[in-house]
Amino acid sequence: RGRHFEQALESFERARALAAEVAPARLAAAGLGIGRVHLEAGDPARAVEPLEAARRQGIEAGAAELAGIELALARALELSGASMAGAR
């Protein structure tokens, strides 16, 4: 293998590792945003699924926003008549 190929491969591996670290946090943020939109639109039942997904991704990412995600999910579940225990 040539030197340029090895450098390109190393660069690709670093980029892939970085994407794996960043993706869960971005997915958590996206799910939180979608869930909040549904909550604000008065549709808590539709907010639950994206908020649960955001919670899972947030836990995986160690997201700082996890407390906000948990709060929004609890609110959505409360408004839709479900419970946190039943959602897990």
Domain limits of the chain? 24-87
- pLDDT value at position 3? 84
Task: Label residue 48 exposed, middle or buried (CB < 10 Å: 0-12, 13-18, 19+).
Answer: buried
Distance CA 69, CA 59 (A): 10
Q: For residue 66, what pLDDT is reported? A: 79
Residue from 62, 41, 79, 27 nearest 71 by CA: 79
Q: What is the mean pLDDT of each run of 10 residues along the chain (88 residues)?
A: 80 77 80 89 91 85 78 90 55
- DSSP H helices, 2-83, are 3-40, 44-61, 66-80
Tokens for 85?
A: 């225990």
